[in-house]
Homo-oligomer: A and B are copies of this chain.
Amino acid sequence: MLEVINVKTTRKTELIDITHEIEKLLPNKDGICILFNPHTTAGLIVNEGADPSVKEDILAIFSQLAPEKFPYKHLEGNSPGHVKSALTGPTLILIVEKGKLLLGTWQKVFFAEYDGPRNRKVFLKFIEG
């Protein structure tokens, strides 16, 4: 089973909660859910979803780690996005129980946009087991 989640980002950098979109696509079974982001200036993050300021803090520190001003060699101006993408990774594997993601109380799954706004997608594969 291979599904696609479409994500429309609206800012240069942002974290968008896709937990509900993932669960809508899961069958009512036990197994694992592989998420894969096919973009080189984006990522997937699991973190707190209750207080939106956590998302802002994560993105603020990321922008210090990969600053806009740096003697980058790639001339498209989006090297900070490539670096952030390399740091957070393209893939997540999550445990599924009866069609629900096994997440902690405060955890949500976020699509991480590092070079938006853009139309993005995430692939989802479910494997029973």
Contact = CB atoms under 8 A, between A and B. Distances in A.
A47 B38 contact: no
Main secondary structure of the interface of A (DSSP, over half): mixed
A95 interface: yes
A70 B79 contact: no
Contact of A34 (B73, B93, B105): B93
Contacts of A123: 95, 102
B106 A40 contact: yes
Given A46-B90, A87-B87, 8 more contacts: A2-B102, A37-B104, A53-B72, A57-B72, A57-B79, A60-B71, A87-B88, A95-B125
Interface of A: 2, 32, 34, 36-40, 45-48, 51, 53-54, 56-58, 60-62, 65-66, 70-76, 79, 82-83, 85-95, 97, 102-107, 123, 125, 127-129
